[in-house]
Amino acid sequence: MMSQNGFFFLFKDILIIAYIKYLYTIKSRIAMAKAAFSKKKTLFTRKLDLNLRKKLIKCYIWSMALYGAETWTLRAADQKYLESFEMWCWRRLEKISWTDHVRNDVVLLRVNVQRSILHEIRKRRLTAF
């Protein structure tokens, strides 16, 4: 029989391992989505309408990044990571480099959207369960 402290440490180790698994899943999904974005760069040219390009990103890129997001346990650091991915998508859509020193709110105004990736995850959780 385990002591109470031994059980707590075992339980704590399992939680840490589970969190690392989710963190790896989130990061690998975002890496796959970024790779897909780079492959489909020709789809996101300025020749297409801005609304169509936004829909393409939400359809192709976000669906790849958010696959299985209903089961993710999101902490504050994970939420920041997902929001930075969202901003990365909008910056790449508008071809804004990070060296241009353009603030996030200006990028969102140019694209005419609000941050919505976390809202999308919440919506998927509600429909899944």
- What are 68-111's pLDDT values in tens digits? 888 888 889 889 999 999 999 999 998 898 899 999 999 999 99
- Token pair 């704590």 is found at 12
Mean pLDDT in residue range 11-32: 71
Q: State phi, psi for 23 to the nearest 5 degrees.
A: -65, -40
Using one digit for the tens of pLDDT, what is the confidence trace for 36-69? 998 887 777 778 888 999 999 999 999 999 998 8
Query: In whole angstroms, what is the distance from residue 40 CA to residue 55 CA?
Result: 14
Q: What is the value of pTM for the model shown?
A: 0.79
| CA distances (Å), origin 53, targets 65, 98, 99, 100, 117 | 17, 20, 23, 22, 16
**Closest to 36 measured CA to CA, from 8, 71, 7, 64:** 64
Query: In whole angstroms, what is the distance from residue 65 CA to residue 115 CA?
Result: 15
- Token pair 């939420």 is found at 79
CB within 8 A of 75, min separation 6: which ones? 19
Per the model's pLDDT, the better-predicted residue between 8 and 13 turns out to be 13
pLDDT at 40: 83
pLDDT at 72: 83
Query: In whole angstroms, what is the distance from residue 23 CA to residue 37 CA?
Result: 21
Helix (H, G, I), strand (E, B), or coil: what is residue 115? coil
Q: Which amino acid is at 125?
A: R
Per the model's pLDDT, the better-predicted residue between 2 and 12 turns out to be 12
